[in-house]
Structure 1
């Protein structure tokens, strides 16, 4: 009847000149409909409350009022994603319906701004490193390293949105029967080693991606494992460590779906110093630091600052015997690059110590990659470089041009680099795996902004024992950013922190560093970062 009345109003020529009266009539009818909906909403809420009293377990019920508000939000131009899968649609709608529910666990930005850097941390940092959430594991070991520049054949496992770096720990939960069979065959081998490659997104999406980068991977040695049988389904939980880089030469898919590939083990080229290659006399050779007895000092016995000053003194003196200025030698000096990178990393983690840094130039360059939330393409680019000096120079350029952390989807500012701290002995960022088998490289921060917390706290499968996790989403685009961890014991310090996944973060230069200090911290100012050209990060070598 309501639609018929509206039709009669617009079909009657006598009312054509009286549009205001027609609009008033329509508004009155809409208000009457809304009043009816309010009555229905109240009745439905009464029914819901009675059912909740009868069934205490159903505490996340969604009333008709929330559905109506949600549809009005969409009708008024609210954000609506384009999902082709019904399950993703249902999950997205349920998250938005429960966003303001009493059962959610919201967090105000005003509260996070008052959080100070945690000191005297009482949490055992060895627990996340041991991956105790996977249960009791059996230790094992194999042959960690293969001969450099050799060609070997090994099974390959593809991991989505993850690049394994030499020295990095990789936890896996495997349930697919073909991958379980692959790991079981690897466990029977003496070396207990398999190859890890990053899954190329161009294969599924059709977008143009540099194929050569995805041909570089890293070997993984299994260090511990656990095999379980749930409902007659074999599942494996393993912890592997990245060892050596390799380049994919050729591959073939077996009948069971696993990939067997021929790879080439690659290593860094041992470039001699500029003084040695360009010098004209024997006095231009680099000098090694020694103590009073004439014994050589290792990097752990000689601090970075003192070691660089010692090297720079001799380098500056000997550089005049060559055709290059002293500052050119310093650009490619390993000690100088290590010192500058260490200073930049102290901006990310103020409690970082020199003793936590690896000694060798190659090991140090790979360790830096695991400490910073870089994109997959940048990590693959650094992985395929065959010069430690070139890798260190790229990393130094990256660190100097990264001051804030933004959402990788909408460029909304989430945190600053000074908000990063370490909750694990392995550093502020480490890889963890969830029950679904998805690997997340999680960066821990003690303060964030522009995040919405969805759902209730849960201690199930917590990567940090003693803390309950809550899902975090970007306030602008609703992208999953990570989790907030809240202590269940009042004696734990810190009482709460955030673990954000690497794939959801994008290090960028703050607006104040680009266009002046007069830019405020509002969302519009930082949102404009997505339209700003990012500075180049690859140095010209």
Structure 2
């Protein structure tokens, strides 16, 4: 993933994350069809359907065999931590994986000592909406696999909990992107029905008020109308504050996103959407900061109503339509992958793309999708690095595109917000 631009520009790492900007690093002596991989030793396709095994990308096997670390760390809501943090422009929500290759000597040394002292949880801090500083919210990341290889530290970490930097607390530079920060764990309040505290105990014993799913909500509509008639608001106001309603809206809208891989738990679904749906950086930061799962689900349903296009980040020429996204990993449409130089790419898989040109020859070295060869994509009009085209003669699909989030932007078409959630009144 070599950068065609100058990588030695001095930056104020307090104001912007220091990362390599582009492409795969390859061996210049490798031929156009470098077959030096272990793909032949991996069962790449489902023996029953012939489809590519979507479990494979989730393992990040291109990093090699790492040493597992046991344990699962969850902090209490409101806990205050003085902890190491990594500052980056990559955003990872709870439940998702961040692969890292630390090539910087100082970062490597600090993180090795951190792990040796049986510390496995750090905080991932993201750039703010203007990319001019650090966003106040972050996510705790737990390291579950690691290994020192050829002077590089390879790490896999998984997002656990949201946290927030304490206002006014010092931000101490430790090494390159690594900081020492003080954060507080953000609570995830339990979701309750809006009718929970409005029914008499006698009615609660006879009528269901704790709605588990949308089908139950539909079956209970008649008695809910009678019950809410005593209040000034219409019944559908209460229905639209039942979390099951928003779960149904999101799952129906995401049916083409690999429904079998999408969680139905409200909190996990809200994070899955934020991680995978085609949102702008500002929209994702907004979701990260919301206080409750219900607030996230409501806003996500509004985001669904906005028409979106995937365009070149530099010249804004159309690259593809979000309808072309598809699942190549059980983690979802958009996953984090790391190149040998340590740059993490949020990568969106799509079936078709336009207005691009291929640069260089196909290679299987360090392929994020074992069995597929990658070729660098650039914008036809401005040469911006867009991502990679993946091809295979033996696997299904034969080809697809991995678009780097750093190479494209989401353009929202003029929405018709007024017709957003009120359609439920007719249901």
Q: Which TM bucket (shorter chain)?
A: 0.7 to 0.9
Mapped contact 1:142–1:192 kept (Cα < 8 A): no
- What is the deviation of 1:358? 2.5
Q: CA deviation at 1:225?
A: 0.9
Deviates further, 308-317 or 359-368: 308-317
- Shift of residue 402, structure 1, vs aligned partner: 3.3
Match in the other structure for 1:50:
none
In structure 2, the residue matched to 1:491 is: 394
Cα distance between partner residues in 1 of 2:8 and 2:67: 41
Q: 1:33-432 maps to which residues of 2 (within 5 A)?
A: 120=49, 122-159=51-88, 161-200=89-128, 214-229=135-150, 234-249=151-166, 250-253=169-172, 258-270=178-190, 272-277=192-197, 279=198, 281-282=200-201, 283=203, 287-288=209-210, 306-310=215-219, 312=221, 315-347=224-256, 349=257, 351-353=258-260, 356-432=261-337
Alignment of 1:445-464 (within 5 A): 445-464=350-369
| Contact kept in structure 1, 2:54 and 2:329, CA below 8 Å | yes
| Long gaps (5+) in structure 1 | 1-82, 88-102, 104-118, 290-298, 515-533
TM value normalised by structure 1: 0.63
- CA, structure 1 residues 149+492, in 2 after alignment: closer, same or farther (shift >3 Å)? same
**Helix, strand or coil at the partner of 2:196:** helix
In 2, the alpha carbon distance for the partners of 1:360 and 1:86 equals 45
C-alpha change, 1:343 and 1:281, in structure 2 (3 Å) is same
1:409 shift after superposition: 3.1
Alpha-carbon contact 1:373-1:506 (below 8 Å) kept = no
Moved more, 468-477 or 122-131: 468-477
The answer on whether the counterparts of 2:305 and 2:417 sit within 8 Å (CA) in structure 1 is no
Larger radius of gyration: 1
What is the distance in 1 between the residues matched to 2:336 and 2:377?
18
- What is the aligned length? 374
For residue 269 of structure 2, give the secondary structure of its aligned residue in structure 1: helix
1:256 deviation in Å? 5.3
Greater RCO, 1 or 2 (C-alpha within 8 Å, sep 6+) = 2
Contact 2:84 2:122 in 1 (8 A): yes
Give the ranges of 4+ consecutive aligned residues of structure 1 lying more than 6 Å apart after TM superposition: 83-87, 534-537
CA distance in structure 1 between the partners assigned to 2:175 and 2:412 by the alignment: 47
Tell me the distance in 2 between the aligned counterparts of 1:535 and 1:453.
38
Q: Between Structure 1 and Structure 2, which shows a larger proportion of helix residues? A: 1
Q: Deviations over 1:456-475 (max 9, x none)?
A: 11111110111111111223
Other structure's SS at 2:320 match? strand
- Cα offset, 1:122, TM superposition: 2.5
Which position in structure 1 is the counterpart of 2:43? none
Residue 343 of structure 2 is aligned to residue 438 of structure 1: yes
CA contact 2:129–2:285 (8 Å) conserved in 1: no
Question: 2:374 corresponds to which residue?
Answer: 469
Are 1:500 and 2:403 counterparts?
yes
Q: Which residue of 1 aligns with 2:40?
A: none
How much does 1:130 deviate? 0.3
More strand by share: 2
Q: Deviations over 1:24-69 (max 9, x none)?
A: xxxxxxxxxxxxxxxxxxxxxxxxxxxxxxxxxxxxxxxxxxxxxx
Which moved further from structure 2: 119-128 or 394-403? 119-128
CA contact (8 A) 1:141 1:221 kept: no
- How far has the Cα of 1:222 moved from its partner? 0.5
Cα distance in 1 between the residues matched to 2:220 and 2:70: 39
Deviation at 1:273, TM superposition (A): 2.9
146-155 vs 265-274, greater mean Cα deviation: 265-274
Gaps of 5+ in 2: 10-31, 33-47, 422-427
For the residues of structure 2 that align with 1:456 and 1:500, how far apart are their CA atoms?
A: 18
Cα distance, 1:140–1:313 mapped onto 2, change above 3 Å: farther
* CA distance in structure 2 between the partners assigned to 1:259 and 1:434 by the alignment: 22
Contact 1:419 1:446 (8 Å CA) reproduced: yes
